[in-house]
Structure 1
Amino acid sequence: MTIATAKWTIADYHAMIAAGILDDRPVELIHGEIIEMAPEGEPHAYLSTVSGHYLAQVLGDRALVRPAKPITLPNASEPEPDIAIVQPLGREYLSHHPYPENIFWLIEYANANLSKDLEIKRRLYAEVQIPEYWVVNLQTQQLIVFRDPQNGDYNTRFTLSEGVISPLAFPDVSVSVAAIVSL
């Protein structure tokens, strides 16, 4: 006997949200499956909040820093990255969440869910050509940077624990690694 999993579309997912079915449930849509999100521990909540404020100051009005808000991807996915740095399209976001072409880069903070962020979400974001993806390993206080998406994965990966990094979208901007990873 073969067991088939029911896949949900983004429209189905939005209908469930509108109907209140998913109220008070921390979930996200990944490849048509509704996945429970791990609860945020204090370091995760603190660092993602402080880093979001820091990035907003560094980038000014060149980008919009969206903390823990959905993005809509064409592969039947609507994840909620910890931080999404997106085009500042103003009121356009009243009618849709940012699409891949609106996203400069994404950041996930990971402790218990490190393998999910390094494997599932890495491929998810690479599939839709998100140009840059950062994972903060809270256990080691390191920044893992993925760039150059091709064929469903990122070709470039490097790890930083100090210094500065310039995002691909803003090569003239220096982002302090410590401001992103240090507790």
Structure 2
Amino acid sequence: MDLALAFEDSQPFKLTVDQYHDLMEQGVVEEGSNVELLEGMIVSMNSQAVSHTFLSFELAVRLREALKEIGSPLVAVTTPTVSMPPNNALDPDVAVTDAPEMGPGFLPVSGVRLLIEVSRTTLRKDMKVKRDIYAQAGVPEYWVVDVNKAEVHRFAEPAEGVYRQEQPIPLAGPLASLTIPDLAIDGSAIL
């Protein structure tokens, strides 16, 4: 059978976040599986190397400690699924949020203050596709940690679907938030 011919005039069916969540609840898509909902399509993600997992965890720990030090009610969590209706549910490596720690469903984008992606092999996707989705969803601040170049690309001020501010900085010394007052972590010796 010629599959290209079979799909020639077909349009993909885009899932909504609610439909994707229902598939997880029904066990069709296993919770914890290595997939995301990207523009309505279930896509597989790269497996994480141990160094990626360690760096994500270390960023979250340092952020959590810094948030406590400044008396912030925000919390840093690792690998949440962030709901961005109608068609996106992405799993950033770290999120800073004011959403309750426990609750049904995915983390609502309305509770997100900062998202972080750690990039070793996914830099192009993180710097373009995910950046644009996060900006369109109104995520106030987004960091891409470029492991290969040891730098952090910070994006802020989403408006009309794009980030108006971008600041790359070395992944060393202080890494300060552009949108959360007084929040900074030490990026030294994190790699």
| Same fold by TM-score greater than 0.5 | yes
Q: Is the 8 A contact 1:163 1:177 kept in 2?
A: yes
- Structure 1 range deviating more: 59-68 or 166-175: 166-175
Q: What is the Cα deviation at residue 166 of structure 1?
A: 2.8
Quick check: 1:51 aligned with 2:59? yes
Which 5+ residue runs of structure 1 have no aligned equivalent?
Answer: none
Q: Distance in 1 between matches of 2:118 and 2:176?
A: 19
Q: Which residue of 2 is the match for residue 64 of structure 1?
A: 75
Q: Which residue of 1 is the match for residue 4 of structure 2?
A: none
Mapping of residues 1-183 of structure 1, within 5 Å: 1-23=8-30, 25-60=33-68, 62-90=73-101, 93-161=102-170, 162-178=172-188, 182-183=190-191
Q: What is the RMSD of the two structures over their aligned residues, measured on CA atoms?
A: 1.7
Q: Distance in 1 between matches of 2:105 and 2:179?
A: 22
Which 5+ residue runs of structure 2 have no aligned equivalent?
Answer: 1-7
Provide the TM-score with structure 1 as the length reference.
0.90
Q: Distance in 2 between matches of 1:9 and 1:174?
A: 36
Amino acid of the structure 2 residue aligned with 1:153 = V
Provide the TM-score with structure 2 as the length reference.
0.86
Q: What is the Cα deviation at residue 146 of structure 1?
A: 0.6
Q: What is the Cα deviation at residue 168 of structure 1?
A: 3.5
* Count of paired positions: 179
Q: Distance in 2 between matches of 1:10 and 1:132?
A: 22
Q: Distance in 2 between matches of 1:95 and 1:88?
A: 12
- Structure 1 range deviating more: 110-119 or 54-63: 54-63
Q: Which residue of 1 is the match for residue 3 of structure 2?
A: none
Flag the structure with higher strand content. 2
After superposing on structure 2, the runs of 4+ consecutive aligned residues of structure 1 that deviate more than 6 Å are none
Q: Is the 8 A contact 1:65 1:83 kept in 2?
A: yes
Q: What is the Cα deviation at residue 88 of structure 1?
A: 4.6
Give the share of equivalent positions with the same residue, in percent. Answer: 26
Q: Distance in 1 between matches of 2:108 and 2:24?
A: 19
Q: Distance in 2 between matches of 1:168 and 1:157?
A: 10
Specify the structure having the higher radius of gyration (Cα).
Answer: 2
